[in-house]
Structure 1
Amino acid sequence: MTLKPDWLRVKAPHWERVGNVKEILRDLSLNTVCEEASCPNIGECFNAGTATFLIMGPACTRACPYCDIDFEKKPQPLDSTEPTRLAEAVRRMWLNHVVITSVNRDDLPDGGASQFVHCINAVRSVSPHTTIEVLIPDLCGNWNALEIILEAAPEVLNHNTETISRLYWRVRPQGNYERTMELLQRSRQISPSTYTKSGIMVGLGETDAEIRQVMQDLRAVDCDILTIGQYLQPSQKHLQVAEFISREQFAAWKVFGEKLGFLQIISSPLTRSSYHAEQVRELITRHPR
């Protein structure tokens, strides 16, 4: 058994603030990936009044063995009121930056692209100052659906790579490494003004050289932002942690990524795809498009 290092422990959150955020979410019947995927940063983010909204869920059509989102439930028809309810949450929480993600909806012809667009437009209608990041699935390679999302002009288009190419068959069996790279590359080509972002997990058996290769592959498709975090096993039925990576190694990857030319790279054990996502507002100021 691989023991969890002391420095992976999370500080206890300020539960009054967390409770306020949860009250808004429950009142508006919204899901967050923070809760559904058992994110270790839920206390910190909820304390800061931020959340990553999970639309079209919580049931997923894929069964990735690292993820805690439920794939056994049957996906439900899209709810036309969801975009309005999400926008109201953004307004109540006074969010400067919002992250909108989704479960995989391979049962839908457009993979849920239209629902992303409805959510983007709804947020813009009530909070035009809020920058919007969408964290999307691979849409089964439906590039017309990708173009539909990008036409709504989110400031950030995020699609996670998750792991190295060699481990895709085990970690992301219904995904495809090359398709992920193509999605990010096409996003840059379709909408040059949109910042592209991706994230990877470590500690699943990859080597340092393989992580650096993923980083090079992402820069080759002009990905702007990268997050790197330690994989944590949600339950005994999920993939086991092969190794806990040292803080020094995370720091080394950050330095390497900066040399490669990433505009922003967040690399630490507890980093998740949406961790400190609000920093993109600073990036936009420093690197306007």
Structure 2
Amino acid sequence: MKTKNILFGLFAITTLFGCKENEKKTVSASEEISKTVALATVPKNWVKKRVENTKTRLTASEAGKVVWNAMEAHGGLEKWYDNGPISFRFKYQPLDGSTPRDTYQSIDTWRSRARHYQVGDSTQQCGWDGENSWIIAKDSTSFAYDTRFWALTPYFFMAQPFVLDGKGVNLELLPQKKHNDSVQDVVKVTFDAGTGDAPDDYYVLYFDAQTHKLTVIRYIVSYPGYFEKGKHLPEKFMTLHGEQTVEGISFPKTYKTHWLKEDETAGEHITNITLSNTEFKPNLESDYFNVPNEAKVTEGL
């Protein structure tokens, strides 16, 4: 949901209290709304409505039921949004000598906005305000990767399965598989045209049939900034390891990425990822995610 839609909704609420005889209520409501706008959190009734709509949509299909059960197993979609923005360190270490990425980042989980700080030098920053990507960098070598692509990429992995609640997401139930001697429910995720920067991406998610928790993420990268239309990297096989629970929400501790073998198992190990310093920040102000005055807005796709 974009900020302008939220503000429109808040404006509509204030008009309900616009008559003279309710003048005191108008002030009280406006003060309450002002507090809501100042923070990146949203009213509980908004969250409740979104969760109800998501549950109705997901439980209407077998694939959706698997995803809904996974959301519940990982702590619940309502708690996910009630907790507010999330902050974490995502340390991405390729094993082939290519560019590592290591940032502290905060994400507005309701509006999908991001702000990153480089570990070791917090003056170097990048982010996404919902419409524009931006950087604050010392020179052209400060970010040796596409920051628009990376702004929400770590979040999309660490926030599974909660990020599957939005529109434009298509789910298909595939035959069960075995992983680490456990039966897995398997769901393929595709996207409608125009959904995000890379709607041709797809994911194949493995959920333990007993615990309903996510164990494997298979995926491709088709980002237009890297590939021509119709082209993408070979499929990867990412395994999730360990568990950390933060404010009732369960996350892995580490990820290992492999190339996918022809038999659809893990092949060559190519990347290690560590997820740490994870915490929710319900008091984070909304304008924290605005483009800073000193930032440079980067080119679009």
Normalising to structure 2: TM-score of the pair? 0.27
For the pair shown, which has the larger CA radius of gyration, 1 or 2? 2
Which has the larger strand fraction? 2
Normalising to structure 1: TM-score of the pair? 0.28
Q: Which has the higher contact order (CA 8 A, sep 6+)?
A: 2
